[in-house]
Structure 1
Amino acid sequence: MKSSTIPLQKLCTAFLLTVALAITGMQAVMAAPATPAVPANAPQGTLVIIGGGLRADNAEVWQRIVDLAGGKGARIAVMASASINPEKSGASIMAKLNQYGADAFFIPLGVKLANSDYRKAAEDPAIVTQIKSASGIYFAGGDQGRITQALLRPDGSRTAALEAIWSVYRGGGVIAGSSAGAAIMSTTMFYDARPVLDMLKMGVTDGREIAPGLGFIGSDVFVDQHLLVRGRFARMIPVMLKKGYHIGLGIDENSAMIVDAKRDVEVIGYSGALLIDLSGAISDRGVKNFNISNAAISYLDRGDKFNLITKVFTPSPDKADNKLDPNQPDMREPVFTNDILGNNAVLDLMGNLIDNAQQEAIGIAFGNPRDPYPDLGFEFRFSKTVNSVGYSSTEAEAYSVLKLRLDIRPIQLRQPLYRYK
């Protein structure tokens, strides 16, 4: 009887082939990681995060809010809790929303609302029913601390009114907010914030400069507003470091970020937004004052899109075919500003650098002699890397700028200053 045993040589060959196939399969998996999925229980609604200063004639933003809420006749609940005069602010916003086709109505809930107990109002079944009847919620500007005061119980839990707002959002409704209404979108918000430079000098403290927000955008993204006109990008970074955020989005005035259930971000309106990524950033603890290295900063212009999960950027249609060639820059002169925290200074610097033969740009920030620590300032060094990309509009003098490196270090200016004779 013949043996059915397979020869040793064939066994070895088969074994080696199996191992090779397994390794090849592993390499294929490693080379093409699965795209992160949106959590199954994620809200199905959309956020409209407005940087403040939204003008009545900004049809693109107002109309988008109404359309997202269902179009003509959409019921939008107006929450003017942040305002010093909620009724007046609420009436103004309702008029604007109705001008663009909504059926907006006022929610009588606010710390400053006359003849009203906001604690009772936040638990009132009639108000809860009103909110749940809406397909959109609009948070007015003012003081964001008044919003959280009105909608969170003293122990930090959600009131019945806030649960109703979340119900609208989970069910596919739109949550819009301007200025203070934008600040509440992340789990951490600015509360009683000092000037930007002072926060770099003295740091941020929970319960003082920052406090819990309402977290509609999720726990992984920090949001700020009034960004470019007030140089606020610099105050985002110490907060992000302190609270462990890797991604920060800052939206400028009269502009908005639309964030949908798939976590696609679209910038609309007058200006744009800054995207700050600290996933590869480090700080030198041996340096006494605030510092950071290897942060990444991008400017998303109006019409641009960015996905928070895949990190894929899509330029606006007027830039899609106009990616900048780093070998054919339009400019060659050095880029520098002595007031990086000034109105639109960071945007101007980033645009001038991305289409330039120069590889880096410098901005500095100093206070006046009466500021705390008047001799302490900061250098902001922006550098192009192999990952930096720029797009130029074919219709206007505008850029989209992706992944510049940003390093911030403290510098000293000897005081007092003397005038040369």
Structure 2
Amino acid sequence: MNFFLLRLAAAAALCLHVAAQAGTAIVIGGATKSDNDAVWQRVVDEAGGPGARIAVFATAAANPERSAGLIVASLNRRGANAEVIPVAPRQKDIDWRANLNDPALIAKVSASKGVFFSGGAQEYIVDTLQPGGEPTAMLKAIRQVFDGGGVVAGTSAGAAVMSRIMFRDAPDNLQILKGQWRDKREYDLGLGFVMPGLFVDQHFLKRGRIGRMLPAMRALGYTLGLGIEENSAAVVKGHEVEIVGARGALLVDLSEAASDARVSAFNLRGALVSYLDRGDRHDLKTGVTTPAAHKLRDQKLDPAAADYRPALQFEPYFMDMLADNTLVNAMTQLLDARSPEVRGLAYRVRPRPGDLSPELGFEFRLYKGPGTVGWFSNALGGDDYTVLKVRLDVTPVRMASPLFTPLPPANEAPAAAPAPPG
């Protein structure tokens, strides 16, 4: 492990019971719709309500003018007084380096009650505001807003920078699960607006990013991770989390997890995963989850209870655990089924150029244990679940290559399988 990784791991290993931070971090999972009142209004309310001054940074955006304009419009429709701070390397016709150190712009940020980071590429945020890991005067002004009790919000790339260590450029979940892990490539120092012991990720369920979060947390020494789904947000105040928006977030707890060092590939057993839905609250310090009020008025699903009556009788097997929302679907089916476990694979049937170990796959085993419990409600118009403390094991497996061959007509002999390489 190199010095940079040791420094990152030390930062991540800071204890959870640090003094509560003064400000509020709103971690938005990306793809936020303009009509999502729950998320946009919450940003404005946390910044002080009507008239709240919010500084908007489109630093990460490919088209900064367009991204900033949409964000400002969405915030101002909810009563804010939002203004663009033109510090974006990909914005045309501006001297962003001069703006980065402009005393007038820095003063505008310092006088704000909120800061909002757009989506895009998170490396632009850290390379611009924190080059070489050192904070600029502009970043110090943003921290002043946060430390003064203000709000720092970010969507997609703007959410990625919220923890002390972040994914820098790591789009291939399966490659990371197989061991691709390079400093200043897959990971980097973030800006650290959430508590030190919490690792965050975004676009989480849609893009199957459990595949990259688990190995990242193990490598960096994190025990708590929070993956936010698209069009949803986690409002983080110190060690307290509230989920708002369209869907929810996955909470990963590795405090009791273990790995077998004798196995050369990534493996894990005894992880705890919980799905926190909109309206749910969770205390990261005590580990207590409080489901949304409408859930408490509806159906509780407790496998240890005498009146537990699961609705599902089959035992599903999921062929792609990293597919869109598959992990949470597996968790809800486990909760509402008689079977003590469900399983599924993470594997690329058609390897890409440069794939590590094309024959390597991973079996995910989700199973019930002490504390596994959940709630179901359709009060908000959908099938909404909260699922707590499902156990998760990840086992590396060697897959057949090819995984399948066409079935020949009955009067033809089956084609011989190709010889293995080497």
TM-score calculated relative to the size of structure 1: 0.88
Which residue of structure 1 aligns with residue 105 of structure 2? 127
Q: C-alpha displacement at 1:43, in angstroms?
A: 2.7
Could you say if the C-alpha distance between residues 292 and 45 of structure 1 is closer, same or farther in structure 2, counting changes exceeding 3 Å? same
Tell me if the contact between 1:43 and 1:171 (Cα under 8 Å) persists in the aligned partners.
Answer: no
Does 1:393 pair with 2:371?
Answer: no
Q: C-alpha displacement at 1:39, in angstroms?
A: 4.1
Does 1:381 pair with 2:365?
Answer: yes
| One-letter amino acid of the structure 2 residue matched with residue 164 of structure 1 | A
Q: C-alpha displacement at 1:299, in angstroms?
A: 0.4
Does 1:343 pair with 2:330?
Answer: no
Calculate percent identity across the aligned residue pairs. Answer: 45
Which residue of structure 2 aligns with residue 418 of structure 1? 405
Does 1:185 pair with 2:185?
Answer: no
Q: C-alpha displacement at 1:264, in angstroms?
A: 1.3
Q: Superposition pairs for residues 1-400 of structure 1, below 5 Å? A: 39-40=18-19, 42-154=20-132, 156-261=133-238, 263-321=239-297, 322-326=299-303, 327-371=308-352, 372=355, 373-395=357-379, 396-400=382-386
Q: C-alpha displacement at 1:116, in angstroms?
A: 3.5
Q: Bigger CA drift: 232-241 or 120-129?
A: 120-129
Aligned partners of 1:401 and 1:39: how far apart in 2? Answer: 28
Aligned partners of 2:171 and 2:296: how far apart in 1? Answer: 40
| One-letter amino acid of the structure 2 residue matched with residue 70 of structure 1 | G
Tell me if the contact between 2:29 and 2:159 (Cα under 8 Å) persists in the aligned partners.
Answer: yes
Give unmatched runs, 5+ long, in structure 2.
1-14, 409-422
Give unmatched runs, 5+ long, in structure 1.
1-35
| One-letter amino acid of the structure 1 residue matched with residue 278 of structure 2 | R
Tell me if the contact between 1:254 and 1:270 (Cα under 8 Å) persists in the aligned partners.
Answer: yes
SS of the equivalent of 2:300 reads coil
Tell me if the contact between 2:270 and 2:392 (Cα under 8 Å) persists in the aligned partners.
Answer: yes
Q: Bigger CA drift: 105-114 or 357-366?
A: 105-114
Aligned partners of 2:241 and 2:350: how far apart in 1? Answer: 41
Q: C-alpha displacement at 1:394, in angstroms?
A: 5.0
Tell me if the contact between 1:188 and 1:211 (Cα under 8 Å) persists in the aligned partners.
Answer: yes
Aligned partners of 1:295 and 1:43: how far apart in 2? Answer: 28
Tell me if the contact between 2:302 and 2:372 (Cα under 8 Å) persists in the aligned partners.
Answer: no
Q: C-alpha displacement at 1:118, in angstroms?
A: 3.3
| One-letter amino acid of the structure 1 residue matched with residue 85 of structure 2 | I
Aligned partners of 2:340 and 2:399: how far apart in 1? Answer: 26
Aligned partners of 1:267 and 1:330: how far apart in 2? Answer: 27
Aligned partners of 1:252 and 1:394: how far apart in 2? Answer: 19
| One-letter amino acid of the structure 2 residue matched with residue 409 of structure 1 | T
Aligned partners of 2:84 and 2:302: how far apart in 1? Answer: 52
Tell me if the contact between 1:335 and 1:360 (Cα under 8 Å) persists in the aligned partners.
Answer: no
TM-score calculated relative to the size of structure 2: 0.88
Which residue of structure 2 aligns with residue 19 of structure 1? none
Q: Bigger CA drift: 119-128 or 266-275?
A: 119-128
Tell me if the contact between 1:318 and 1:394 (Cα under 8 Å) persists in the aligned partners.
Answer: no
Q: Bigger CA drift: 325-334 or 56-65?
A: 325-334
Which one has a bigger Cα radius of gyration? 1
Q: When the two structures are aligned, how many residues end up with a matched partner? A: 383
SS of the equivalent of 1:342 reads coil
| One-letter amino acid of the structure 2 residue matched with residue 392 of structure 1 | F
| One-letter amino acid of the structure 1 residue matched with residue 29 of structure 2 | G
Could you say if the C-alpha distance between residues 109 and 360 of structure 1 is closer, same or farther in structure 2, counting changes exceeding 3 Å? same
Which residue of structure 1 aligns with residue 6 of structure 2? none
Q: C-alpha displacement at 1:140, in angstroms?
A: 0.4
Tell me if the contact between 1:73 and 1:102 (Cα under 8 Å) persists in the aligned partners.
Answer: yes
Aligned partners of 2:69 and 2:60: how far apart in 1? Answer: 14
Which residue of structure 1 aligns with residue 416 of structure 2? none
Q: C-alpha displacement at 1:104, in angstroms?
A: 0.5
Query: 4+ residue stretches of structure 1 with deviation over 6 A?
Result: none
Q: Bigger CA drift: 366-375 or 218-227?
A: 366-375
Post-superposition CA distance 1:227-251 (Å, at most 9, x none): 1111111210111001100000000
Which residue of structure 2 aligns with residue 6 of structure 1? none
Q: C-alpha displacement at 1:301, in angstroms?
A: 0.7
Q: Bigger CA drift: 251-260 or 120-129?
A: 120-129
| One-letter amino acid of the structure 2 residue matched with residue 212 of structure 1 | L
| One-letter amino acid of the structure 2 residue matched with residue 110 of structure 1 | A
| One-letter amino acid of the structure 2 residue matched with residue 226 of structure 1 | H
Q: C-alpha displacement at 1:59, in angstroms?
A: 0.7
| One-letter amino acid of the structure 2 residue matched with residue 82 of structure 1 | A
Tell me if the contact between 2:375 and 2:386 (Cα under 8 Å) persists in the aligned partners.
Answer: yes
Which residue of structure 2 aligns with residue 28 of structure 1? none
Post-superposition CA distance 1:119-171 (Å, at most 9, x none): 333232212101011100000000000011110133x2110000110000011
